[in-house]
Structure formats: C-alpha cells, structure tokens
A and B are shown apart, each in its own frame.
Chain A
Amino acid sequence: MIIAERKPLEDIKQMIAQYKKILLVGCGTCVTVCWAGGEKEVGILASQLRLAFRRDGGELETLEATVERQCEKEMVEELKDKIQQVEAVLSLGCGAGVQTIADRFEETPVYPALNTKFVGMPEREGLWIENCGACGDCFLDRTGGICPIVRCAKGLLNGPCGGTNKGKCEVDPEKDCAWTLIYRRLEKQGRLDLMRKYYPPRNFQAVVRPGKIEAQRV
C-alpha cells in the first residue's frame, strides 16, 4: 500500500493561512491504514488547526469528509456539496488523491496535508517499511521475493557488496543487508544457483513518466 506521513503543522498552516473556511478530506484506504489520513486523522488535524488559528488570534471554520478512495473520481464526486461551501480543500490523501480532487473541482484550490513517501508494508503496529520501488521491471523472481532495488541501500542487482557485515548494511548498521536476506531465502528454497548468475543493468525505460497502463477489456 501507499505510505504517507503528515506534513509539519507549520507547513500546513502556511498553506491555508489566507482562508477562513476549509474542507479537510481524508481517504479510507492506504493512508487510513498507515495512520496518516483516515477519518480519525482528519478529525485530529481539523481540531489542531482550529486551535492553532485561535492561538494566533484568528478563527478557522472546518468541514470534514472522508471518502472511500480519494484516487477515484467517482468517489470524490460526493464532496461536491461540501466543496461549494468552502474556500479551499486540504487533502489527507496521497498525491493521487490530491490530484483527483484538484482535477474534478478545478476552481477550488486543493492543498496536500501529507507527504506521500513510498509503497510499503507494515512491519509491526505503527512501523511501515518500503519494500517496492514501483520500478516497472519486477526482479523478485530471481531474489526469493525480496526486492534489492529498494531494500539494498545501493540498489544492487548483483550483491552483496563488500560492505555487508554480519547480515547488516554498511550504509546503516541498523538495517538488514538485503542480499544476505536474499541468500538465506534462496538457500531455504534450494535455489542458490541464482546467486551465481550475473544480471545486466535493468531496463530504466520500463516506466516512462508519467506512467500509463491501459488494460484490455475481457
């Protein structure tokens, strides 16, 4: 899923300083799960902003809404009535959510309250780890399901490098060496022969920005 985190309050305050009434929009999917932009976070940020404005001698009126998926234009349609009542929208969705609302309601300024960070998975409650770089040329068949492109600090296709140290990475000793993990995984699967193969540089044209995929109807 997409992992995001809230921007510093000061940045958010600066973005909306000129407005008196805004709509905060959460998203019920990825950012709800990573505690960044769900219904609860919308409530907390709205309250925090109202208090912050009051602290500075001003007043801010807020409306709140959370849609199931902010990245789908049909789902942001339900915001129509509320958006008509406000001067601006503060989105607690990922970058795709912000742009979906901005595209649908072009006359209303839409601001991001979150920084969209990476595609990741929960390691434990409250901790998310990046494990996919969305590179468009998946390499996981050769590495026992562990991505060296994002989990190796150097993104090596032919690892480990000389900096691996007792299973940890020389760049950050707190982090596991992805290629040691790959070795252990392939060893369990009896596929260590894959470690002896040389992989040429990957195809950097696999995803040309902006990415676009059109599925064939079935």
Chain B
Amino acid sequence: MTTGVEFLPCIVAFCCVHSAYQAADAAGRMRIPYPENIIMVHIPCAGRVDTLHILRAFENGADGVVILACHEGACHHILGNIRAKERVERANALLREIGVDGRRVEMRTCAPNDGSRFARVCHELEEKIKELGPSPLRKHA
C-alpha cells in the first residue's frame, strides 16, 4: 500500500494564438497526447504577457509558468516574442529575489502546425516542474 500521492504540477501556459494555440489544436487533431495539467491561456500575442501576469499565476497556485510563442523572427506583431522573452527574464529575476528557483518560468517557441513539438514541450515542462517539486509560493492550507 502506498501512502504518498503523486505530485501533479499545475503549469500555466500562455499560448500565442498565432503559434502555440494552433499547435495545441494540431496535437489534438493528430491524437498526440499531452499532460492534462497544463492550463492553457489563450493570448493574442506573446507580447501581451506582462511580468505581473506571471507573478499572479504563482499567486494563484501555479507550480510553473511557460510562455509559448512564435519562433524568433516569425512573430505576427514583429517583436511580441522578443518582449515576452525580456519579461520572462524579469520574472525570473523577481522570483530569484524572493528565493524561488527561476527555472519555474520559461519561454518556448513553436510553429502553428507543429503539434508534436507542442506535446513534447509540455511533457518536458511537466518533467522539469516535477523535479523541482511543488511551488513554495502556493497558499498555505
């Protein structure tokens, strides 16, 4: 009899509608499974994500946050993914200041038709956050 409960991380994925969101659809159409504990947030462009959105995700119980954007040079709004990258770096720095591992936030890119990459990235993130364990920023019961 096992007493431990497997840790299922809560990962918030901000998905650009021009790339990752379509890639998630593609993964679905191709019947490629990806973790059900990824909470997808539909965004018009990765550049819409603010540092505050990332912090708020942690306040609301996320164990990890990822911004899934268009590949560099392929942003429909030209610089949205570059700006998102800067904000991820800022959020990392703010989390490190609190004493939290900055690896809990990251940015990945994917093409709209690349469902298999989307699924692979989600699995990688899940594994990484499982290794890091539950977020120390979760609200105490």
Quick one: closest A residue to B56, CB to CB? Answer: A47
With a cutoff of 8 Å between Cβ atoms, the chain A residues found around residue B140 in the complex are 54, 57
For chain A, give the interface size range: 10 to 19
Per-residue CB contact flags for chain B residues 35-72 toward chain A (1 = under 8 Å, else 0) read 00000000000000011100110110000000000000
Decide yes or no: A54 and B137 within 8 Å by CB, A9-B98, A48-B97, A48-B98 being known contacts.
Answer: yes
- Provide the bound-state CA to CA distance between A134 and B80, in Å: 40
Per-residue CB contact flags for chain A residues 44-67 toward chain B (1 = under 8 Å, else 0) read 100110111011010000000000
- Provide the bound-state CA to CA distance between A43 and B56, in Å: 10
Are A51 and B52 closer than 8 Å at their CB atoms? no
Are B98 and A47 closer than 8 Å at their CB atoms? no
Are B98 and A55 closer than 8 Å at their CB atoms? yes
Q: Tell me if A104 is interfacial: C-beta within 8 Å of chain B.
A: no
Q: Tell me if A82 is interfacial: C-beta within 8 Å of chain B.
A: no
Per-residue CB contact flags for chain A residues 150-194 toward chain B (1 = under 8 Å, else 0) read 000000000000000000000000000000000000000000000
Other-chain residue from A8, A9, A44, A55 in contact with B55 (beta carbon distance below 8 A): A44
Are A54 and B55 closer than 8 Å at their CB atoms? no
Are A43 and B98 closer than 8 Å at their CB atoms? no
With a cutoff of 8 Å between Cβ atoms, the chain A residues found around residue B56 in the complex are 47
Q: Tell me if A40 is interfacial: C-beta within 8 Å of chain B.
A: yes
With a cutoff of 8 Å between Cβ atoms, the chain A residues found around residue B58 in the complex are 51
Quick one: closest B residue to A48, CB to CB? Answer: B94
Are A52 and B98 closer than 8 Å at their CB atoms? yes
Main secondary structure of the interface of B (DSSP, over half): helix
- Provide the bound-state CA to CA distance between A44 and B56, in Å: 9
Q: Tell me if B132 is interfacial: C-beta within 8 Å of chain A.
A: no
- How many A-B pairs have beta carbons closer than 8 Å: the answer is 39
Decide yes or no: A44 and B59 within 8 Å by CB, A51-B98, A51-B137 being known contacts.
Answer: no
- Provide the bound-state CA to CA distance between A51 and B139, in Å: 9
Q: Which of B79-122 contact A (CB under 8 A)?
A: 94-95, 97-100
Other-chain residue from A47, A52, A54 in contact with B52 (beta carbon distance below 8 A): A47
With a cutoff of 8 Å between Cβ atoms, the chain B residues found around residue A50 in the complex are 59
Expressed in whole angstroms, the minimum distance between the Cβ of B53 and any Cβ of chain A is 10
Are B52 and A9 closer than 8 Å at their CB atoms? no
**Residues in A lying within 8 Å of B, measured CB to CB:** 8-9, 40, 43-44, 47-48, 50-52, 54-55, 57
Q: 7 closest pairs, A vs B, by CB?
A: A47-B55, A9-B97, A52-B98, A43-B52, A51-B137, A48-B94, A44-B52
Q: A40-B52, A43-B52, A48-B98 are in contact. List 6 more A-B contacts (CB 8 A).
A: A47-B52, A48-B55, A51-B55, A51-B59, A52-B99, A57-B140
Instruction: Pick 27 A–B contacts, CB within 8 A, sort by A.
Output: A8-B97, A9-B97, A40-B52, A43-B52, A44-B51, A44-B52, A44-B55, A44-B94, A47-B52, A47-B55, A47-B56, A47-B59, A48-B55, A48-B97, A51-B95, A51-B98, A51-B100, A51-B137, A52-B97, A52-B98, A54-B137, A54-B139, A54-B140, A55-B99, A55-B100, A55-B136, A55-B137
